[in-house]
Structure 1
Amino acid sequence: MGAKNNLTEFVLSGLFWSREMQNASKTLSAPMYFFLNHLSFADVGYPSATTPKMITDTLVEKKTISFNGCMAQLFFAHFFGGTEIFLLTAMAYDHYVAICSPLHYTTIMDRQKCVLLVEASWVAGFLHSILQTLLTVQLPFCGPNEIDNFFCDIHPLLKLACVDTYVVGLIVVANSGMISLVSFLILIISYMVILLNLRSWSSESRRKALSTCGSHIITVLLVLVPPMFMYICPSTTLAADKLVILFNIVMPPLLNPLIYTLRNSEVKNAMKRLFWVRRHLGEK
């Protein structure tokens, strides 16, 4: 008969297995990194809604998806994609406050304000996506049923509907394209104000601020520009549309981690401290 088991739970040491290494990572607890955590989750969710099916379809001859599966794919793609746009706008506000009101930054961007901005981004992404999905679900589809794309997006689906989709198409432009365009304009205006405020800073402080803002600007271009082409002025060439969509799905999640680590001095310094602590502990 086996020995009696007196254990009811186990304690996990976590990713950082020592207090020294946990303390070395506390510098990444600023509001910007709180937003980055949620942006990273959206980065993972967006391609996860489309790429597994796309990869599976490369292995089979007959590429099909159920109606419910198609609507689910449409919903989650727009949910994570829309949330990503709103999170980037919230991050721009964080940068604006940090540069234009540095003395009041900790008061304005407290934990409650950050949580509120993140929650608002996810709710706005949900509302954006549910509208797109509801508009599509209520359309009659009588055939043909071949979608000229590698996932269920709204423009290819509108082409298959048996009714006039002109009004629905306008709503789609207002809901998807205009969200990207308006967010892009808001971000451009905010960074123009930031650049004006940076003129009075020292060269070293200006360099650090521009490095952080530069990472955000690159991500904004990667995330916001493709949807504007896809939904405001879609290409007449289907192959070009597919390339833009593929770029929008693959490139931001692939490049964002590199952009925010290699161009951010705080992240690089925290990584150096983690490696130093790990090496130091290993020598003991």
Structure 2
Amino acid sequence: MTVYFSDGQFTKREELTISIDDRGYYFGDGVYEVIKVYGGELYTAKEHIDRLFQSAAKIKMTIPYADVQIMEIARELVKANNILTGHIYLQITRGSAPRLHQFPDPSVQPVVTAYAVNNPRPLEGMENGVPVKSVEDVRWLRCDIKSLNLLGNVLAKQEAYEAGCVEALLHREGVVTEGSASNMFGIKNGTVYTHPATNLILNGITRQVVLGLCKDLCIPVVEQSFTLDEACEMDEFILTSTTSEVTPVISIDGRPIGSGVPGIITKKLQEAFALQIPSFIAGE
């Protein structure tokens, strides 16, 4: 039996109900987070939960739980669902109220839901690399908020999928921002380049981990935007996310990156990342 969290209690899926008046359903009026689980342990959970509260504050929404309570909910879902390698999905909407664009009365309580699923590490993509497709970034200008408004991301991902690619490489008038569900890094002459953490990208938790690993490994980093043409001329290229970890990009729009195989710095970052995973077992 899969255990979910909804409306203040743990419940079975078939007993879970969401009101048709939920503002997440009407407007995408809410925020979310995905926390990875390795070896039955939450990974970078504090960082994800902190960002959840930051996103909520940016849309003027108060989460009806303290951060320690959210952490305990996540841990209980891992335990109740016997998750070894997987992830937790957390979502908070502004609550259930008649469909009006302005915020509802303050008495309306936000709705918190969460679940846990098994999800293996993407070992094949990490080992062999993946192709990506460039797509114009036409999303709104507050991509720093991890909100439920993901239609632009969905359309970009679908365009990449239909082209036989794993991810969309988003760009605004030729300047690379991020992926539809990931952050992007180019590597040239031993230096790592990535778009700065502005309102145009989500400052991914895995992105932050990788930047920390670069510092530990004495790999130079430049947080500076670069063009799509420059991306195609990189020696190596990687995408990062909670579920993708550190995945090499071997081609952009069919053009091979470097020699068309994962590079040396990419492998160094993958190895360093793997050492941080709780209960990591080589060759899982």
TM-score higher than 0.5 here?
A: no
Which protein has the larger Cα radius of gyration, Structure 1 or Structure 2?
1
Task: Return the structure number with greater strand share.
Answer: 2
TM bucket by the smaller chain?
under 0.3
Using structure 1 for the length normalisation, give the TM-score. 0.27
Higher helix content, 1 or 2? 1
TM-score where L is the length of structure 2: 0.27
